[in-house]
Amino acid sequence: MVDSTTASATPTLAERVDRRVWVAGFLMLLFALVPLYAWLADDVYVLTYFGRMLIFALAAVGLNLILGFGAMASLGHAMYFGFGAYTVGILSTWGVANGWLHLSVALAVTVLIAVPVGWIALRTRGMAFIMITLAFAQLFFYVFVSLRSFGGDEGLSLTELSGFGALTGNKYAIYLSLLLTLILVLWFTHRLVKSRFGLVLRASRHNEPRLNALGTASQPYRLVAYVLSAQICAVAGFFMANLTGFVSPSLMSWLISAEFMVMVLLGGMGTVFGPVIGAAGLLLIEDGLKTVTEHWPLILGPLIVLAVIWLRQGLWGLMAPSGSKQASSADQGDH
């Protein structure tokens, strides 16, 4: 006869599996079902709406790589977001339609800019790092505002999207490609933060001087993380241009960088899936408030402040199993 105490102590499947795994799976399933709903309801707008949510989630995941795991608070990542979008816009204006070339140029330009910017910014810490990244972002923002041949501050409507054969301009193909890219980036981030590279990056977040004293130079790791983070944001910008068919300097505004940061904080810094929850949550709250009042920023601002104060682990941490052990494991990138 099985002792009742022993039986009750045996964890069920639901208890053994972190509830956040179910939440993440359910949310990704909902995203995957959006094209089916759009096809049945003949409503392509939902692809743009949820596609925008996926794009911001992708950019937030990119920023979280340095903010959550490396404690590098950048207010300039919208610059790379804009590079990805404007690469599509400018090359299309010049008659270059190859989508793979668009993506390759976007990544190459991002590397060329991110390496020197990151090298300079990483020589500082704290507020100085934030201000340097912001300064470079504002510099390029005004550069693109002055490009009258590409729309200036009014932006540029794309006459031709990135060419991928028969899939060119197909909203369903763009959305599914975006969803697949987000899944791949989440998998890549999960693997990266569990590798030796991720261990060094997380160690530099907590005590960089001790890490350097042990013989591991942290700067190369942090610079590579910064460049990878920038490239993920550039890919998000690439999708934004193709999804909306429009690019403008506003995509490079520091306000967009601030939104990325809020999404990371709201979802949960230092977690792999948290930024996706944060992006979806912030955009849904914004749209909900817009339907109630035109003064929605006055409500949203205090809500974000309260969320950051009371939800130290973000929405992702709020869903963690009870106990400090699980909460702390999220900080290590286990989920």
Residue with more model confidence, 31 or 207: 31
Is the pLDDT confidence value at 13 over 70? no
What does the pLDDT look like over 129-166, one tens digit per residue? 999 999 999 999 999 999 888 888 888 888 888 888 76
The 3-state DSSP class for residue 312 equals coil
Four-point Cα dihedral 154, 155, 156, 162, nearest 10: -170
In a domain, 1, yes or no: no
Contacts of 300 (CB under 8 A, 6+ apart): 285, 286, 289
Residue with more model confidence, 169 or 52: 52
Is the pLDDT confidence value at 291 over 50? yes
In Å, the largest CA–CA distance within the chain is 82
pTM, two decimal places: 0.89
Is the pLDDT confidence value at 279 over 90? yes
Alpha helices in 11-98 (DSSP H): 13-16, 19-41, 45-70, 77-93
What average pLDDT score do residues 112-134 get? 92
Q: How confident is the model at residue 334 (pLDDT cuts 50, 70, 90)?
A: very low
What average pLDDT score do residues 166-194 get? 91
Q: Which of 57-71, 226-240, 305-319 has the lowest mean pLDDT?
A: 305-319
Share of the chain above pLDDT 90, in %: 56
Which pLDDT score, from 0 to 100, does residue 165 have? 77
Which pLDDT score, from 0 to 100, does residue 325 have? 42
Is the pLDDT confidence value at 16 over 80? no
Is the pLDDT confidence value at 331 over 60? no
In a domain, 236, yes or no: yes
88 in Cβ contact with 157 (< 8 Å): no
Q: How confident is the model at residue 327 (pLDDT cuts 50, 70, 90)?
A: very low
Which pLDDT score, from 0 to 100, does residue 151 have? 84
Residue with more model confidence, 333 or 242: 242
What is the overall mean pLDDT for the chain? 86
Kind and range of the H or E run holding 111:
helix 99-121
Nearest to 321 by CA among 23, 22, 19: 19
Which pLDDT score, from 0 to 100, does residue 322 have? 58
Lookup result for tokens 């990544």:
107
- Neighbouring-strand partners of residue 246: 157
In a domain, 6, yes or no: no
DSSP secondary structure string for all residues of 188-226: HHHHHHHSHHHHHHHHHHHHHHHHHHTT--HHHHHHHHH
d(CA 261, CA 92): 30
What average pLDDT score do residues 76-98 get? 92
Is the pLDDT confidence value at 324 over 60? no
270 in Cβ contact with 68 (< 8 Å): yes
Q: How confident is the model at residue 17 (pLDDT cuts 50, 70, 90)?
A: low
In a domain, 7, yes or no: no
In a domain, 240, yes or no: yes
Q: How many domains does the chain have?
A: 1
Contacts of 82 (CB under 8 A, 6+ apart): 140, 141, 144, 237, 247, 249, 251, 252
Domain of 33, CATH number, reads 1.10.3470
Other Cβ atoms less than 10 A from the Cβ of 153: the count is: 14
d(CA 213, CA 97): 50
Which pLDDT score, from 0 to 100, does residue 315 have? 84
What average pLDDT score do residues 237-255 get? 93
Identity (one letter) of the amino acid at 180?
L
Which pLDDT score, from 0 to 100, does residue 222 have? 93
d(CA 129, CA 310): 26
What average pLDDT score do residues 208-213 get? 80
What average pLDDT score do residues 257-270 get? 91
In a domain, 89, yes or no: yes
Other Cβ atoms less than 10 A from the Cβ of 182: the count is: 22
Contacts of 163 (CB under 8 A, 6+ apart): 97, 98, 99
d(CA 205, CA 202): 5
Q: Which of 90-99, 303-312, 322-331 has the lowest mean pLDDT?
A: 322-331
The residue range of the domain holding 242 is 19-331
Which pLDDT score, from 0 to 100, does residue 4 have? 47
Which pLDDT score, from 0 to 100, does residue 226 have? 96
Which pLDDT score, from 0 to 100, does residue 328 have? 44
What average pLDDT score do residues 76-103 get? 92
In a domain, 66, yes or no: yes
Is the pLDDT confidence value at 5 over 80? no
In a domain, 8, yes or no: no
